Structure 1
Amino acid sequence: MALEQTGRFAELFRRCHPDLVLDVVEVVSEGDRHVGPLSRIGGKGAFTRTADRRLLAGEVDMAIACAKDVPGPHDREPGIAVGAVLPREDVRDVLVLPAGHPPATLADLPRGSRVGTSAPRRAALLKALYPALLPVPIRGNADSRLARLDSGALGVDAMIAALAGLGRLGLTGRVSEVLDPARWLPASGAGIVVIEHRGDDKATRDLLAPLTDAPTHALLDAERAALAALGGGCLTAASVHASLDPRTALLTVRAAVLDPGGAGALRATASGAADRAADLGREAGERLLRDGAARWLDGRP
């Protein structure tokens, strides 16, 4: 998936800057190598830490990542800035079943079915919405997880995946159910690819600026500001989703912190002009804190 994202970015970059040479350097993250829980190797930072080091050392000038895998600014090494934000894709999660399994929904699965996911948000949603099902931690990239699901080696009966990720790989045919985002709350940064650079690298920043989709950048600013206000970590079961009304330019941030035990959720909403995206996100996050969200931010019920 990372290579597909890189290829898509490279095409945009070369179209915008046809006279420049773009060298692609493949970086294998700690998150890709590790097979256990992400919390043991620093949570979300596992997917960016290696690229961050190479970026800050000047070995590469840009790094590409899924926005939902990028840690918040409160728990990341300083000196890295977002230079380009690509247009948002689908934010929804989906149910994937082993190859050959008849189509089914989460509600159809037998009691006690094991559903694979590495995300605390998804695990909390499963416990709240489908208490008869059992969330099971899984690791690996999308291709390897699908292959192990089909062979039975993944140790689960089904798994939850991001629709955007499957779409990038041309695997939407594996979707058994698309989960309604009104109930199955999406991840912050879902469906967004970002390109980062060293904060003091003005030349690269100027090269990346024309590639940015401004509405998506505003949505991402709002979502990341809410997470920063919460100060949550890799165990936090949280959702922040921003939307922009194209007719009124009204940006709305919907944020929630979920009980890891599945008992419920605290929710907050903030709306306003798109040029106040970060302020609106921060407002939603602060409302959740005032309502008592802190008790769930460390992953404990």
Structure 2
Amino acid sequence: MATAELIRIVSRASPMALAQVERVRAELARQHPGIRTEVVPVTTSGDRWLGSLSELGGKGAFTKEVDATLLAGDADLAVHCMKDVPADRPLPAGTLFAAYLERDDIRDALIHPGGLTLDELPAGTRIGTSSVRRVAQLAMTHPHLECVPMRGNAGLRMRKLADGEADALLLAVSGLERIERTDVITETLSVETMCPPIGAGVLGLQCREDDTDTIDTVSGLGDPATWRETTAERMFLHVLQGHCNSPLAGYARAERDGRLSLRARAFSPDGKTVLDAHEWAGPLDPATLGTSVAVALLRQGARELIDSIPH
């Protein structure tokens, strides 16, 4: 098996993205001590634009420039947060995911300067988030709270919180871990309280299909359980054809005995309609499980729910 001598890693230029690249570099160095790595930073349209993502054509705003750099041959490997990679359309032709790293925490965290938990927040508290998934779930469970749109990386959002643009924030635990800011977490929300986004906590390593040296080198970084979970989740999203304004949530869980489960939910933006499905698969392949759970939601009216939301 040939291994690459130099791997050029393309990444968004945000502190979070660069922290993710450092994790990949460290794992590569551990498995292949002789390897050299270089970082090729790019700024994506999603990073530059702080308005609504749907106006940029959705989540692909975070991946388009990275994909182009990889396809042009200016980099050998791209590191992606899988929750930001659209699943309603195929990966760019000529690329594949060679590995998914072992999954990080999939939960959301509440940050409240006064130290209150979500259930303790008084009516009218302004929660800074632009996530349709979080907005819909808060509308369902905590309708007395007010969501105010807030985008930008975690550091920028925390500055906005400090400046009084919101009273509290919801951020991904895994992201705060990556930038070593778990000190700000007031409460870690259970997946029952706040169902996570598809692909939460997963870093994917994308290569060109014809670059077998890089594929062979990085595939050993992959975690088999995370591969199965992510495959099921992304097939679920693909079958539903959810767009970036669809309040969809869900997570797969691979048990040690080989069983795999997938729980998924679809919401109306106001949280008044909630569709729920939870299925188990024994040796069933993950993509079949993802398809089956998507069909279960479609039978409950998910297609009409998604299509009624402008995007």
Deviations 1:197-253 (A, max 9, x none): 12332222111111101111111001001000100101010012101121x211001
Would the aligned equivalents of 2:258 and 2:283 in 1 still touch at CA under 8 Å? yes
Cα distance in structure 2, aligned partners of 1:173 and 1:75: 38
- 1:132 to partner: Cα distance: 0.6
Cα distance in structure 1, aligned partners of 2:185 and 2:87: 30
Residue equivalent to 1:142? 154
- 1:168 to partner: Cα distance: 1.1
Matched, 1:279 2:294: no
Matched, 1:33 2:33: no
Deviations 1:243-287 (A, max 9, x none): 1121x2110011111111110311112211356111101111122
Would the aligned equivalents of 2:258 and 2:282 in 1 still touch at CA under 8 Å? yes
Residue type of the partner of 1:225?
Answer: M
Deviations 1:14-53 (A, max 9, x none): 2222222211111222211111111111111111111011
Superposition pairs for residues 23-62 of structure 1, below 5 Å?
A: 23-62=38-77
In structure 1, the gaps of 5 or more residues are: none
* 2:280 partner SS: strand
Structure 2 residue corresponding to 1:262, chosen from 243, 265, 271: 271
TM-score in terms of structure 1 length = 0.93
- 1:73 to partner: Cα distance: 5.1
Would the aligned equivalents of 2:53 and 2:59 in 1 still touch at CA under 8 Å? yes
Residue type of the partner of 2:130?
Answer: S
Identity of aligned residues (%): 39
- 1:144 to partner: Cα distance: 1.1
Residue type of the partner of 1:44?
Answer: K
- 1:75 to partner: Cα distance: 5.8
Would the aligned equivalents of 1:116 and 1:156 in 2 still touch at CA under 8 Å? yes
Residue equivalent to 2:5? none
Would the aligned equivalents of 2:160 and 2:166 in 1 still touch at CA under 8 Å? no
Cα distance in structure 1, aligned partners of 2:196 and 2:238: 17
Residue type of the partner of 1:288?
Answer: L
Residue equivalent to 2:118? 106
Structure 1 residue corresponding to 2:197, chosen from 162, 168, 187: 187
Residue type of the partner of 1:62?
Answer: L
Matched, 1:157 2:167: yes
Would the aligned equivalents of 1:270 and 1:281 in 2 still touch at CA under 8 Å? no
Residue type of the partner of 2:277?
Answer: A
Cα distance in structure 1, aligned partners of 2:181 and 2:143: 28
* 1:58 partner SS: coil
Cα distance in structure 2, aligned partners of 1:200 and 1:266: 41
Residue type of the partner of 2:166?
Answer: V
TM-score in terms of structure 2 length = 0.91
Cα distance in structure 1, aligned partners of 2:19 and 2:287: 29
Structure 1 residue corresponding to 2:225, chosen from 194, 206, 215: 215
Residue equivalent to 2:81? 66
Cα distance in structure 2, aligned partners of 1:190 and 1:12: 20
Residue equivalent to 1:229? 239
Cα distance in structure 1, aligned partners of 2:264 and 2:135: 17
- 1:59 to partner: Cα distance: 1.1
Would the aligned equivalents of 1:235 and 1:299 in 2 still touch at CA under 8 Å? no
Structure 1 runs, 4 residues or longer, greater than 6 Å off: none
Residue equivalent to 2:306? 297
Name the CA shift for 1:274/1:136 in 2 (closer, same or farther; >3 Å).
farther
Residue type of the partner of 1:20?
Answer: I
* 2:249 partner SS: strand
Matched, 1:18 2:33: yes
Residue type of the partner of 1:53?
Answer: A
Structure 1 window deviating more from structure 2 (256-265 vs 269-278): it is 269-278
Name the CA shift for 1:298/1:145 in 2 (closer, same or farther; >3 Å).
farther
* RMSD, matched Cα: 1.6
Residue type of the partner of 1:149?
Answer: L
Cα distance in structure 2, aligned partners of 1:282 and 1:252: 12
Would the aligned equivalents of 2:88 and 2:239 in 1 still touch at CA under 8 Å? no
- 1:76 to partner: Cα distance: 4.9
Residue type of the partner of 1:33?
Answer: R
Would the aligned equivalents of 1:96 and 1:176 in 2 still touch at CA under 8 Å? yes
Cα distance in structure 2, aligned partners of 1:206 and 1:132: 52
Would the aligned equivalents of 2:109 and 2:187 in 1 still touch at CA under 8 Å? yes
Structure 1 window deviating more from structure 2 (216-225 vs 22-31): it is 22-31
